[in-house]
């Protein structure tokens, strides 16, 4: 295959990992009955948006469009870091997280009504505070967001060559 037409797999891997994160959240919810809070659901949305940006980067023919999509993916990943940190340090210690920023975003977009099995919050933030292998669930998400941000920057550096 000609190097000029070969696609870099970094954006495709970013998209795949993002979709896998949503899949893991859905398995946690529907198989292990770990019901999501609004901040959990917002993080699912952020993973979905990262996947879309990464796919746009992967499909882009123009270098500037690819770079723009990767920058967007990196910024979205950093917003996910913020959401995970907020969930852990603020929301999880409150008895109710109704009508927080996360709840308002999900409701405004209508995702809770149109795709309730994926985007409907079903627990309070305090109730959704669970550990997986001794690590808070949102820290797994945070680590994945950091990995995705690094991968997006790596993809940007590769496209700059």
pLDDT score, position 129: 79
Q: How many CB atoms lie within 10 A of CB 34?
A: 18
In a domain, 108, yes or no: yes
Q: Which residue has the higher pLDDT, 149 or 90?
A: 149
pLDDT score, position 132: 85
In a domain, 74, yes or no: yes
CA distances from residue 85 to 3, 40, 142 in whole angstroms, order as listed: 41, 11, 7
Number of domains in the chain: 1
**Domain of residue 21, CATH code:** 1.20.1550.10
In a domain, 113, yes or no: yes
Provide the domain limits for residue 108. Answer: 10-159
In a domain, 69, yes or no: yes
pTM for the predicted model, two decimal places: 0.91
In a domain, 4, yes or no: no
Which residues fall within 8 angstroms of residue 103, CB to CB, at 6 or more apart?
38, 97, 121
In a domain, 3, yes or no: no
In a domain, 1, yes or no: no
pLDDT score, position 100: 84
In a domain, 5, yes or no: no
pLDDT by residue (tens digit) across 40-79?
999 999 999 999 999 999 999 999 999 999 999 999 999 9
CA angle 116, 37, 150 (to 5 degrees): 100
The C-alpha torsion from 128 through 134 and 136 to 141, rounded to 10°, is: -110
pLDDT by residue (tens digit) across 103-157?
899 999 999 999 999 999 998 877 777 888 999 999 999 999 999 999 999 999 9
């Amino acid at each position: 295959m000609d190097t000029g037409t070969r696609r870099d797999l970094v954006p495709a891997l970013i998209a795949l990992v993002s979709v896998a994160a949503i899949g893991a959240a859905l398995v946690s919810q529907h198989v292990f009955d770990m019901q999501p809070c609004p901040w959990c659901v917002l993080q699912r949305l952020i993973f979905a948006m990262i996947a879309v940006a990464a796919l746009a980067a992967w499909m882009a023919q123009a270098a500037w469009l690819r770079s723009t999509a990767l920058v967007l993916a990196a910024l979205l990943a950093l917003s996910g870091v913020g959401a995970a940190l907020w969930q852990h340090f603020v929301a999880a210690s409150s008895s109710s997280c109704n009508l927080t920023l996360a709840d308002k975003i999900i409701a405004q977009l209508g995702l809770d009504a149109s795709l309730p099995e994926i985007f409907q919050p079903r627990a309070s933030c305090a109730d959704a505070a669970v550990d997986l292998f001794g690590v808070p669930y949102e820290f797994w998400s945070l680590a994945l967001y950091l990995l995705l941000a690094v991968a997006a920057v790596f993809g940007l550096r590769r496209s700059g060559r």
